[in-house]
Chain A
Amino acid sequence: VENVRLLDRLSSRKAALGTLYLTATHVIFVENGSEARKETWVLHSQISSVEKQATTATGCPLLIRCKNFQVIQLVIPQERDCHDVYISLIRLTRPVKYEELYCFSFNPKLDKEEREQGWKLVDLNEEYNRMGIPNNYWQISDVNRDYGVCDSYPTEVYVPKSATAHIIVGSSKFRSRRRFPALSYYCKDNNASICRSSQPLSGFSARCLEDEQMLQAIRKANPGSDFIYVVDTRPKLNAMANRAAGKGYENEDNYSNIKFQFIGIENIHVMRNSLQKMLEVCELKSPSMSDFLWGLENSGWLKHIKAIMDAGIFIAKAVAEEGVSVLVHCSDGWDRTAQVCSVASLLLDPYYRTMKGFMVLIEKDWVSFGHKFNHRYGNLDGDPKEISPVIDQFLECVWQLMEQFPCAFEFNERFLIHIQHHIYSCQFGNFLCNSQKERRELKIQERTYSLWAHLWKNRADYLNPLYRPDHSKTQGTLCPQMAPCNFLYKFWSGMYNRFEKGLHPRQSVTDYLMAVKEETQQLEEELEVLGERLANLQKTQLNDNKVKSKQQDQSKHLGLSTSSNSLANTPQEYSNDLKSFPSRSPSQGDEEDSALILTQDNLKSSDPDLSANSDQESGVEDLSCRSPSVGGCLPSEDSGKDSDEAVFLA
Chain B
Amino acid sequence: MLRSSQPLTGPNRKRCREDELLLQMVLDKGEQGFIIDTRSAQAAKQARMTGGGTEPKSSYPQWRQLHQPLERGRSLQESFIKLVEACNNTLTNMDRWLSRLESCRWLSHVKAALSTACLAAQCMDREEASVLVHGVEGTDTTLLVTALAQVILDPSCRTLTGFQGLLEREWIQAGHPFHLRCARSASSHARLKQEAPLFLLFLDCVWQLSHQFPFSLEFSERLLLTLFDNAYASAYGIFLCNNEKERCLCKVKESTHSLWAWLNQPGEKRKYLNPLYSPNAVVIWPSVEPQSIQLWQGLFFRWIRSSQHLDEAWGEIQRLAE
The chain A residues found within 8 Å of chain B, CB to CB, are 10, 282, 287-294, 296-297, 300, 302-303, 306, 404-408, 465-466, 468, 471, 473, 481, 483-491, 493, 497, 502-507, 509, 512-513, 516-517, 520, 561-564, 567-572, 574-575, 577, 580-581, 583-584, 589
Interface residues of B in 104-148 (CB under 8 A from A): 105, 107-108, 111, 115-116, 118-119, 121-122, 126-127
Q: How many A-B residue pairs have CB under 8 A?
A: 172
Question: Are A589's CB and B126's CB within 8 A?
Answer: yes
Q: How far is the CB of B302 from chain A (nearest CB, A)?
A: 12
Q: Assess A10 versus B289: contact at CB under 8 Å? Given A303-B95, A506-B213, A507-B213.
A: yes
Question: Are A485's CB and B287's CB within 8 A?
Answer: no
Question: Are A581's CB and B216's CB within 8 A?
Answer: no
Question: Are B216's CB and A465's CB within 8 A?
Answer: no
In the complex the two chains form, what is the Cα distance from A483 to B91 in whole Å?
8
The reply on B236 being an interface residue by CB < 8 A is no
Which residues on B sit within 8 Å (CB–CB) of A572? 285, 287-289
- The 18 listed contacts between A and B (C-beta, < 8 Å) are A289-B107, A293-B98, A293-B102, A293-B107, A302-B98, A484-B97, A485-B92, A486-B306, A491-B291, A497-B291, A507-B213, A509-B276, A517-B320, A567-B213, A567-B215, A572-B288, A574-B116, A581-B122
Question: Are B292's CB and A290's CB within 8 A?
Answer: no
Question: Are B215's CB and A561's CB within 8 A?
Answer: yes
Residue on B with the closest CB to A281? B290
Question: Are A509's CB and B282's CB within 8 A?
Answer: no
Identify whether the interface residues of A are mostly helix, strand, loop, or mixed. loop
Given A291-B290, A481-B305, 18 other A-B contacts at CB below 8 A?
A: A10-B289, A288-B111, A404-B309, A406-B310, A406-B316, A466-B313, A485-B301, A485-B305, A493-B291, A503-B287, A513-B320, A563-B280, A569-B285, A571-B122, A572-B288, A574-B122, A581-B127, A584-B127
Which residues on A sit within 8 Å (CB–CB) of B216? 567
Question: Are A465's CB and B320's CB within 8 A?
Answer: yes
In the complex the two chains form, what is the Cα distance from A571 to B153 in whole Å?
12
In the complex the two chains form, what is the Cα distance from A302 to B93 in whole Å?
11
Q: Assess A290 versus B211: contact at CB under 8 Å? Given A297-B102, A486-B90, A581-B126.
A: no
Residue on A with the closest CB to B279? A564
Interface residues of B in 274-298 (CB under 8 A from A): 276, 278, 280-282, 284-285, 287-295, 297
The chain B residues found within 8 Å of chain A, CB to CB, are 66-68, 87-90, 92-95, 97-99, 101-102, 105, 107-108, 111, 115-116, 118-119, 121-122, 126-127, 211-216, 276, 278, 280-282, 284-285, 287-295, 297, 301, 304-306, 309-310, 312-313, 316-317, 320-321
Question: Are A486's CB and B305's CB within 8 A?
Answer: yes
In the complex the two chains form, what is the Cα distance from A562 to B305 in whole Å?
34
Q: Assess A290 versus B102: contact at CB under 8 Å? Given A406-B312, A503-B291, A589-B126.
A: yes
Question: Are B215's CB and A507's CB within 8 A?
Answer: yes
Which residues on B sit within 8 Å (CB–CB) of A488? 97, 295, 297, 301, 305
In the complex the two chains form, what is the Cα distance from A369 to B310 in whole Å?
35
Question: Are A466's CB and B316's CB within 8 A?
Answer: yes
